[in-house]
Amino acid sequence: MIAWLVIFPAATHAQQFMPTENNQAIEEYLAEAPENYNMPIMYVFYNGADCSGCTEAIDLIYDLYNQYYTTYLNIFTVDYTLDAGFDFAAAYDLTQPLSVVLVAIKNGQAVGYYKIDNPQYWLADTSYFENNLSNQINNFLAM
């Protein structure tokens, strides 16, 4: 088990569950859909730069979402470099061309997030891409 904890973050470019106090975007999300009071969010953040593999990775993320997670998460794709009234880059420490951020929502508040950077690097093995991303989403949902 200890070896897994040491290897896992480096191999997947993921970060541990981080607490957050940024609820501005969450408040807007709930105002638009109050039925999502406790529904986690999956953000697919990209930076608008030319990114080899990002479009294909985003397509695979959506395929996976549509196949398994539509009743467990809501998904949004956001160019985090555009100022839309909320600084996603600062809120989720976004610096990579592509990141998946899973946000936990409890009682209408964002209580933490789990970030996966650069999933486009996994495209050489589609099976690995799907299994790795699914495992991380499943672990997040089990928290």
Q: How many domains does one find in the chain?
A: 1
Burial (Cβ within 10 Å: 0-12, 13-18, ≥19) of residue 57: buried
pLDDT at 9 over 50: no
Q: In terms of Cα–Cα distance, which of 22, 24, 43 is closest to 91?
A: 22
Q: Which residue has the higher pLDDT, 23 or 125?
A: 125
pLDDT at 117 over 70: yes
CATH number for the domain including 26?
3.40.30.10
How crowded is residue 8: how many other Cβ atoms within 10 Å of its Cβ?
Answer: 15
Q: Provide the pLDDT for residue 67.
A: 97
pLDDT at 23 over 80: no
Percent of the chain topping pLDDT 90:
50
pLDDT in tens, 32-87: 676 777 889 999 999 988 888 999 999 999 999 999 999 999 999 999 988 677 78
Backbone angles phi, psi at 46, to 5 degrees: -135, 160
| Residue 45 and residue 78 in contact, taking contact as beta carbons nearer than 8 Å | yes
Domain membership of residue 135 as a residue range: 2-142
The predicted model scores a pTM of 0.81
What are 16's two structure tokens? Answer: 């541990």
pLDDT at 134 over 70: yes
